[in-house]
Structure 1
């Protein structure tokens, strides 16, 4: 069976060694970097054969996990990644979610749990429905480019992630209709658990900011039910 390539960025030698061995036993091909800068250089060299997922320790020298994640997203926006941390600060979790993390795991943890979560993330990301044609969708005064992961308005080009593109596309397909939260979560995250729900809230907040320059577009929240992607059609004279 072909092994799944994974980037592990962990500066604790003992911890990293144990994780590497355990992941390799569970059919992962592990490339282990011992600081953030080394991990970034490895990732840049592997662009033609990208990793399936990245596991990033938050507290690392040279580049911390958050800084590394931002640079990885710039290279491959759709790359799934997980943060590992010994810190339980709410602010760290929120920061990780805002960056688009697929999970945030607090040390110490059972290695079996990490493997299960990685398997679940890869199952969701590899089996998700691809965004279908057209690759460019007119949304108010914006143009969504689902092929290049861009949101364009006049001369402004906003880079977005693959998940943002999928979420915007899904909301637009159901514009002016109240969608239940679990519908959106199961369609885009393939899961409606608590973590996915919090992740979706962060993505919705980001998408609202992306569309803020067009007053005809808004995302309305209906407490306890879901969301409506509202677009006011311009009247034709």
Structure 2
């Protein structure tokens, strides 16, 4: 989705949308969670049905991504229990089988939509945004699109970036990289995660492109100042407020 034209979705009280991701494949659950955090949403995940029900009761999500096949109770039973507490929560089913009976079962059970594995992260995000709008649990807002980490600010609408009030000029790719880092402050992001979200797999494992653009950002963000962008050896990169 075009970063310059995308409107954030927020709850009516202005807080981030809450999403619950339920899948027993840890890598897939993490990719989905990262994609939704990139949207600015508050995300929790569960790897089995009972954990999902517990998270649903504690977290009160606005939308749920729910795998049909889980190791304990199936997604249909999870949906039934979630709806007992939150009758109107929108649910997007994930199914590994593109069979008519699965789709019918999911919708009959009360699911609002479904996608079949394998799917694109962009498709899932688009479907969820549609469900939220239809359920009127979130509204599109502009004018509240500023990310702030320490003395670093980034306006997602105007694409203006400043460090301690001083403007920082970035290219489009540098902006997207910084935005991803700022949406995940204090979180170590691997090169693979950065490639996935900023370059959309186009560079197929060429992690040196990440190192190159991190160096570009450091020259513009950290030059002459206390550093905010840090390398975690063997793990990736993290952005956090400058010390001191």
Please report the TM-score for the alignment, with normalisation by the length of structure 1.
0.50
Mapped contact 2:63–2:132 kept (Cα < 8 A) = yes
Offset of 1:23 from its aligned partner? Answer: 1.1
**In the alignment, does 2:73 pair up with 1:60?**
no
In the alignment, which residue of structure 1 is the partner of 2:33? 20
SS at match of 1:30: strand
After TM superposition, the structure 1 = structure 2 runs for residues 104-143 of structure 1, keeping only pairs within 5 Å, are 104-126=114-136
CA–CA distance in structure 2, aligned partners of residues 118 and 27 of structure 1: 13
In the alignment, which residue of structure 1 is the partner of 2:154? none
CA–CA distance in structure 2, aligned partners of residues 123 and 102 of structure 1: 12
Please report the TM-score for the alignment, with normalisation by the length of structure 2.
0.49
SS at match of 1:87: coil
RMSD: 1.6
In the alignment, which residue of structure 1 is the partner of 2:103? 93
Offset of 1:127 from its aligned partner? Answer: 7.0
**In the alignment, does 2:39 pair up with 1:29?**
no
CA–CA distance in structure 2, aligned partners of residues 103 and 127 of structure 1: 16
SS at match of 2:42: strand
In the alignment, which residue of structure 2 is the partner of 1:173? none
Offset of 1:45 from its aligned partner? Answer: 2.3
Distance 1:101 1:13, change over 3 A: same
Q: Runs of 5+ in structure 1 lacking a partner?
A: 129-237
Structure 1 ranges of 4+ moved more than 4 A:
none
In the alignment, which residue of structure 2 is the partner of 1:83? 93
Residues 170-213 of structure 1, C-alpha deviations (whole Å, 9 max, x = no match): xxxxxxxxxxxxxxxxxxxxxxxxxxxxxxxxxxxxxxxxxxxx
Mapped contact 2:19–2:44 kept (Cα < 8 A) = yes
